[in-house]
Amino acid sequence: MSSSIKIESVVKEKNKMGECPVWEEREKALVYVDINSQKVCRWNAVTNKVQSVSVDARVGSVALRQCGGYVMALGTRFAFLDWDTQSVTTVLELEQDKPNNRFNDGKVDPKGRFFAGTMAEETAPGVRARRQGALYTLYPDCSVVKQLDQVDISNGLDWSLDHRTFFHIDSLMYAVHAFSYDVHTGKIACPKLVYRLEKEEQMPDGMCIDTEGKLWVACIDGGRVIRLDPETGKRIQTVTLPTSRITSCCFGGKDYSEMYVTSAYDGLDEMALAKEPQAGEIFKITGLGVKGIPQNFYAA
């Protein structure tokens, strides 16, 4: 790890399951969700204050809308959130035949479509129905296409800089895959393995891309983010964080040179929590020497 890298906790309000950080330039804020607290949160980098909106289901992901406010995937539905009025408008209900399913990670593609995937919740500790999830795309006209089926835990996702490749993580495959991606239609095809995680890296969770086209993957229970070269399939950097349940990452700040990393305290017992007092906090990493790219807006 480079000696110029600095890690600081910027959001001390602990999240049960902090996820899906999104830098919102227009608000100078980091938007994120606490899935298990059923909240969408916004940390203002200027005032250092956190605001939140409670919703009626576990919210897996949030993204920016072109017209203001947010699009989100919560429970098994897509919805819009008006931050000022705190009103939630359902766009579409999915998977009503799967009561144990919920949406997980999501992100907007280069043409303003919102990709988000589902997963089965555990029915008991460590017990989960397999391959119940799917990956969906919500188009700007509010139509939905199912892109992938038989997914375990649909997770981190992003697009290559040339918009020809879609990267996706199904956490229980312990791997990152690349798909061919048609920017005009939004369709994906032909999955190929990019990287299989090593044992100590544990399970891949959220993911983002930098301006050099390299992928950053948050390793839940691995206490780190790793940087991958999708061309060679090699890990090129590891940044270790002060807590084990590292869930996702995004670039932000005025020139997108800061990385924001979410974490969780759910899943840690009392002994682990005593050893990890910063579990559930949000960290800012500076000095990486690389920048990210602005988030795309849902085009409606």
> Residues annotated in the binding site for a divalent metal cation, as ranges?
19, 155, 205
The active-site residue out of 105, 158, 205, 210 is 205
Q: Determine the Cα–Cα distance for residues 262 and 162; give it in Å rounded to an integer.
A: 27
Which SS3 state, helix, strand or coil, does residue 279 take? coil
Whether 276 and 242 have beta carbons less than 8 Å apart is answered as yes
Q: How far apart are CA 173 and CA 183, in angstroms?
A: 26
Whether the Cβ atoms of residue 106 and residue 117 lie closer than 8 Å to each other: yes
Distance CA 16, CA 37 (A): 7
State the amino acid at position 280 in one-letter form. G
Residue type, 94: L
SS3 at position 191: strand
182 is an active site residue = no
| Selection from 4, 9, 5 nearest residue 283 by Cα | 9
Give the DSSP per-residue string, 75-123.
TTEEEEEETTTTEEEEEEE--TT-TTEEEEEEEE-TTS-EEEEEEEPPS
Which residues contribute to the annotated binding site? Answer: 19, 102, 104, 122, 155, 205
Rounded-to-integer distance, Cα 214 and Cα 290, Å: 10
Cβ atoms of 220 and 245 closer than 8 Å: yes
Q: How far is 56 from 280, CA to CA, in rounded Å?
A: 21
Which residues participate in catalysis according to the annotation?
205
